[in-house]
Amino acid sequence: MPELPEVETVRRTLAPLLGETIVSTWGSGKALRLGRPVELERIRTACAGAEVAALRRLGKFLLIDLGQREHSLLVHLGMSGRLRHVHSPRARAPHTHLEWTLKGGGLLRYSDPRRFGSVELVERGREREHPSLRRLGPDPLEDCPDPELFFRSCRTTRRPIKVALLDQSLIAGVGNIYASEALWQARIHPSTPAARLRRPRTDALLQAIGKVLHRALEHGGTSLKDFVAADGQSGSHAHYLWVYDREHAPCPRPECGGSIRRTLQQQRATFYCPRCQH
DNA sequence: AGACAAACCTGTCTGC
DNA sequence: TGCAGACAGGTTTGTC
């Protein structure tokens, strides 16, 4: 579910956790993402008595640094994962897979109905060696990506630019919603082979990605169905989407006069305006 | 290299 | 009303 703006919204709303001490960890024992059973015992040991020292984000991954320990928790929300900071714990909601009890009395709760997400331990300072993080491209919010580098990365693949954007290696954090949004903003047809884009167009795309992600972040992310921040708030950006999930709607460019079309690329919905995207 | 499909798993919506 | 099937914001893996 969550793309960069949603994960960043979660990171920001988790800020009250900073300085809190973890007392204990509870786990459902259910497996999360394929091939990676949750290492509950290792996580328990690493978290017990640890302080939440920092909250970081790399693309769609969240890192919770455990103070005075050499580890960080690496969290991916997959499609339906949620991290909630719960102040007055009630009965455990269904699909809760991990829960960290805090010294102050609250809880950090990870729930994920579809279990496409993951929670694991990584060695701090060496997180980039993790298989999932190794191939991540620059983060559009953190790294001020270099337009020259972005252009050269695009040149390496002839795949459609929409498909290439989802790959996370060109740029980290763009998912299915914001790929369509950024391509509309940059007036680029989603089927254009990435390598065929000339320099001014990759510059425009990189700018559009930054603009789209910042704008979504200002609205607390997109809650199409059930995304909520760590404090339980929904994001309002669904009201401001230009093309995503707007098939047959008029193109938001008043002078264009086109209407939004839906197509499938790699079995994933792509929305675009055939009139102003080339 | 890249197109394509399948895998992980559950909830929700659509159409009959 | 009930049920089957399609579909969903992500990533990984395998085949051709």
**A205 and A183 in contact (C-beta within 8 Å)?**
yes
Question: Which residue's alpha carbon is at the shortest distance from the C1' of B11?
Answer: A113
* pLDDT score, position A208: 96
Record the tokens describing residue A166, joined without a space.
């989802």
pLDDT at position A34: 62
Distance A264 CA to B3 C1' (A): 13
DSSP letters along A21-81, please?
Answer: BEEEEEE-----STT----HHHHHHHHTT-EEEEEEEETTEEEEEEETSSEEEEEE-TTT-
Range with the poorest average pLDDT among A28-37, A163-172, A220-229, A250-259:
A28-37
Measured at the CA of A260, the angle between CA A255 and CA A262, to 5 degrees, comes to 160
Model pLDDT, residue A142: 82
Model confidence pLDDT, tens digit, residues A108-138: 999 999 888 999 999 999 998 888 899 899 9
Q: What tokens does A68 get? A: 């005075």
Q: Measure, in angstroms, how far nucleotide C6 C1' is from residue A264 CA.
A: 14
Give the nucleotide with minimal C1' distance to the Cα of A135. Answer: C11
Please give the positions of A annotated as active site: 2-3, 60, 268
**Residues near chain B strand, CB within 7 A:** A 31, 33-34, 80, 94-95, 113-116, 157-160, 163, 195, 225, 266-267
Kindly tell me if the per-residue pLDDT of A1 is higher than 80: no
Distance between CA atoms of residues A232 and A9, nearest Å: 11
pLDDT at A173 over 80: yes
Nucleotides of C under 7 A from a protein CB: 7-13
Question: Which nucleotide minimizes the distance between its C1' and the CA of A222?
Answer: C9
Confidence of residue A92 (pLDDT cuts 50, 70, 90): confident
Distances (CA, A) of A65 to A20, A51, A108, A218: 12, 8, 14, 25
pTM of the model: 0.96
